[in-house]
Chains A and B, each alone.
Chain A
Amino acid sequence: MTSATRATPPLDRQTLTEGLWKENPVFVMMLGLCPALAVSNTAANALAMGLASTFVLLGSSLLISLLRNFIPKQVRIASYIIIIATFVTAVDYIIHALSLELYNALGAFIQLIVVNCAILGRAEAYASKHPVRHSLVNGFGMGAGFTLALVMVGAVREVLGFGSLFGVSLFGDQFQPWAVFILPPGGFFVLSLWLVLFALVAKRRAVKEVRHGT
């Protein structure tokens, strides 16, 4: 983290960390919710999906940033989609080669990374306007933020829905799984619970600041 930030002076910590928290794609910008809700039924699936998306983000940020002065404005979205689809296809092959089990678990959602608006959003809003280094760091931050959010949702769903975390059983045999949490609606429930929690924390913090101010 720090090695990347000290490389160039204009590349401040903000470039990396805004994706992690302040502009977290899932919790703050509400982008890419389709894969975030669909594949976060276990922590391991969520982590894999997050890493796959991060890879696509890094690859497409790199290429789009490199080609940013070459791509005419009129065809930029088409170009971004081709580039993103290229890396999605690559990651699809790679996951298929790494583990058949993981590939079957993620199913069609790997291909659907193409339409993850968090990635196209980064291409349009950042990589097409910034030099390669900045785009890579920013893309990595966004990918890490996306992964973090997915794992936070996935871990809660796995604990409630399967009674395990990363495949390790937590409660004994008596545990009665709460099946709704591994189904798609469970994704909405858990995501909204996290958002409520963040909103409460932010509110309390704001109240505290007001008190200190007066």
Chain B
Amino acid sequence: MIDRTGKLSRLAVLLALATAIHSLESLIPFTVGWFRFGFANIIGLATLYIFGFKDAVWLTIGRILLGGLISGQFGSPGFLLASAGGIGSIIVMGGAYWLAGRYLSEIGVSVLGAVSHNMIQLWVAYLMLVKNESILLLAPIMIIAAIGTGIINGFAGKILIKRMKLLAPKL
């Protein structure tokens, strides 16, 4: 039995956290083009495990909208890529958790989410922005990078989920 107010306030805190991480991360400078850690996905992962698929999707949509407004990217090509990748990856993670949750830990689900995030972004960039086949050559590099960030985020998400369940065993 979950009380609705407790759930709502926890989701609000998670959304605020995800938005903050999402916006702060865009400030980290990288020499390698589009490389990002996608730390905001830690929150999406935790929401998926604690509150379920529907809330995780809403949290991701909210995070992208608010993050886009804060970083001033709302409506830009970067925003289009972020929304396609973010929403696509949370759907893949939800599917993976539902179908293969017995075999995969948080780390596996997170790796799948990160890889699908990058592949969807690359595909959308190809279809809508660049329209040149050569960009698809980035795919292997992006998969390897996603495996790395996916493992890191999976670990962080695992710890977060454990702590949150300790704090509120009812959830």
Partners in one complex: no
> Interface on A for B, CB 8 Å cutoff?
none
Interface residues of B (CB under 8 A from A): none
